[in-house]
């Protein structure tokens, strides 16, 4: 399992420790790379597992660290707990930030190339700095369409 190694490598690089909790959260995220999970769902998965263990609070702490390291991305669905999804591909290709999110099954699908680069360049010329962007397209995926 290449991706878990990637997690370990990046943790080491940042002088962060490789612990049971961090490996547990990483494993769940890797196993469910197609769907963003809430901290609670991740915690439940870990509890159901025989060989993984992590406290619920540590799930939050771990996700926060993974987010800072760019290993996961955080998705906010309106009126719900935040959802996290692994952001390194199994081919170590760069993370693509733009997704379609299904309102019903929470399935997430990459959308293609970024279409905001021009907009950001224009803003930078005007004096805007530290630009980040987030594009969200939501709706019902083909499987959830009745």
* N-terminal to C-terminal alpha carbon distance within the chain: 37
Indicate the residue among 8 and 96 with the shorter CB distance to DNA: 8
Distances (CA, A) of 12 to 9, 55, 61, 103: 5, 22, 17, 36
- Residue 37 corresponds to which tokens in the numbers above? 């999970």
Report, in Å, the least distance between residue 47 CB and DNA: 11
Indicate the residue among 16 and 115 with the shorter CB distance to a second copy: 115
Report, in Å, the least distance between residue 63 CB and DNA: 8
Which residue ranges make up the site for a second copy (CB under 8 A)?
Answer: 74, 76, 78, 100, 103, 111-112, 115-116, 119-120, 123, 126-142, 145
Burial of 82 by CB count in 10 Å (0-12 exposed, 13-18 middle, 19+ buried)? middle
Is residue 2 classed as helix, strand or coil in its secondary structure?
helix
Report, in Å, the least distance between residue 39 CB and a second copy: 13
Indicate the residue among 68 and 124 with the shorter CB distance to DNA: 68
The alpha carbon of residue 10 and the mean position of all alpha carbons in its chain are separated, in whole angstroms, by: 15
Report, in Å, the least distance between residue 36 CB and a second copy: 14
Which residue ranges make up the site for DNA (CB under 7 A)?
Answer: 12, 16-22, 38-40, 53-58, 60-62, 64, 79-82
């Amino acid at each position: 399992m290449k991706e878990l190694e990637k997690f370990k490598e990046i943790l080491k690089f940042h002088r962060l420790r490789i612990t049971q909790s961090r490996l547990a959260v990483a494993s769940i995220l890797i196993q469910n790379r197609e769907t963003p999970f809430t901290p609670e769902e991740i915690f439940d998965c870990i509890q159901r597992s025989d060989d993984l263990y992590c406290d619920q609070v540590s799930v939050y702490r771990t996700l926060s660290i993974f987010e800072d390291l760019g290993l996961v991305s955080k998705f906010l669905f309106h009126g719900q707990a935040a959802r996290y999804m692994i952001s390194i591909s199994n081919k170590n290709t760069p993370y693509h930030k733009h997704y379609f999110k299904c309102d019903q099954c929470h399935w997430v699908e990459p959308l293609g190339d970024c279409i905001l680069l021009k907009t950001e360049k224009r803003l930078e010329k005007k004096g805007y700095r530290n630009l980040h962007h987030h594009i969200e397209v939501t709706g019902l995926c083909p499987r959830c369409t009745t």
